[in-house]
Amino acid sequence: MSIYFESRPYDQRLKEQHMLESQTFFSKMVDELVEFSEYDPELADGIRWLDDQAQKKGITFYDMVFEVLYKHDVNSKAKEWLNTRTRN
């Protein structure tokens, strides 16, 4: 008995389309935060700090926001993992 799996050929265009949609979603989300910061002084301070950090690093504001969010996500997952390890 043999089992055969059929899969569609890899389509690079689909990956590129998905990446473009993800980047557009992220950019719109960041733009909305910036707009909302007009009504939230603490958020406005944070955005100014991020912009300063981005300029110091020579990267875009969007790249800086992504970097901060990515590091936060990694740190949160590491803490979760550590908590599950110490409980057992």
Residue with tokens 């300063």: 52
According to the model, what pLDDT value does residue 42 have? 97
Is 80 exceeded by the pLDDT of residue 76? yes
Q: What is the average pLDDT across 5-31?
A: 81
Exposure string (b/e) for 26-45, b if CB count within 10 Å is 16 or more?
eeeebeeebeebeeeeeeee
Q: What is the average pLDDT across 38-44?
A: 96
Tokens of 64: 């800086």
The answer, as to whether pTM is greater than 0.75, is no
Q: What is the average pLDDT across 53-79?
A: 93
Is 80 exceeded by the pLDDT of residue 5? no
Q: What is the average pLDDT across 57-86?
A: 91
Which residue type occupies 81? W
